[in-house]
Structure 1
Amino acid sequence: MPTGARHPRRTKLARIGAIAALFALTAVPLVAAGASGEEQSDLKSRMEAIQARLDAATVKVEELREEQDEVLHDIADIEDRMAQLEDSNEELEKRVVERANAMYRTGSSGMVEVLFSADDFSDLTSRAELMSRVSLDDSGVFVRLYRAEKELAALSAQLSDEKARLADTEERMEAEAQRLQGEFDAVAAEYEELQAKLAAQAEAAKAANSAPAAPSAPSAPSAPQAPVRFTGGMTCPVAGPVSFVDSWGDPRAGHTHVGVDMMAAYGTPVVAITSGTVTYAAYDGSGGNMIFLSGDDGNQYWYMHNQQNLVTGGHVSAGQQIATVGDTGNAVGTPHVHFEYHPGGGAPVNPYPLVASIC
């Protein structure tokens, strides 16, 4: 089982904080502009409720994925130990035969007859009490083989238990992943409605701040616009309901996780986080459909497990759709975008703070 300190699970509370900040920035101008519609607090509470539902389901899926990896790690350890024992047993079995032949040649025929009257080799090795009648060297060979056979039997039973545990974990993970997909489907309509209202209110606030003073009449409210999700020239890589936790450094199939898994419904648009050039768009065995984006800001952004890549190269703008969310590669059953952040095109760093601040 992998060891090492585990960081506590951190869900996307930063996103709720960003939403709260948006309300704080726009509340006064909206009131001044006479904006109509739902109260600010109601919009905020509805968005928080949606995100809480998604995050709760995502945490369960991530916990089961971690449990699955731990079981797979244990199974690999057991199988490695069994392979080592089987290799060493071959040598021990040869030595047992050699010692038996030597005993026969020296006239210890009675001992040889007792040894080879066993029904099978396992029965022979279990007669450890006979070793008191032969030399210490002979005894050591038989005892080591006997102990190795016993350990192999115990490991075989342990392996069966771990495989049963793995099947149970994967069954529960599949059920939770399906439940998460159901949550995404259930909140999709309300989520888009709230995003549109937030965008409309933000546009109204912008218009109110930029409009010249008109003492004769208040400014007319702006018409609703498409949802705006840009922050500092960047936009969330997933353009729809999304949920993720800080899983940086978690075990993943023999290595540590070097990205953030952004859970979303199948087919949800995947967009360019910033403007840049697509330098790689192809299928990889474990990463599935992948896209590497070399940002105009000098950083690289990697997207994996896409259901479909919609671009093959060229320059894209921030917010432009480049793929759809899927579960290709080794992500079958858990649709998400594995997103990596490579500052300056170098080694990856934890992308959670970045995406949590803009999603």
Structure 2
Amino acid sequence: MKKFLILSLLLCFFMTNTPLVFAESLSEKQERIEQQAQEEKNKIQEATDKLNEVSEKMRILQAELDEANTAYNEIKVKLDNANEQIAQKEKQLADTEQSLKKNQKYLQKRVRDIYIHGQISYLDILFGAKDFSDFLTRMDLIKRILRYDYDLITKIHQERN
């Protein structure tokens, strides 16, 4: 009976001790799982923080890109306007050069005619008038010739400038 009692006691001891050991290993597993869950939460928080940081940098870069595009478009408009003005000025220059050449030819012809025919005395022209009406007509023609010569020289001077 002693043996039975010892065996019963041992059996009771093991039976009562087994749930403690089993409970202890479950609590250790639960603690380990909670620790792993906390580590995963920390990793998720770090990833979220990193994502927010990258998102903020991306937002700043997008704002800088938008500003750069706006500045580029403003400069492009100014460049297009400048190119348009250059084209207009080049056309104006070509027209002025053409007009200058034409007026220089007229002036050269006028000077050549004066050289070939000699300087005409305007007094001779005026005194060659037959009557007062002819005198006024000749005087008007001389004024027109002088005005034309003066305007031609002035225009050539302006076109050169």
Band the TM-score falls in, shorter-chain normalisation: 0.3 to 0.5
With normalisation by structure 1, the TM-score equals 0.23
- Between Structure 1 and Structure 2, the one with more helix by share is 2
Name the larger-Rg structure. Answer: 2
Larger RCO of the pair (alpha carbons < 8 Å, separation 6+): 2
With normalisation by structure 2, the TM-score equals 0.45
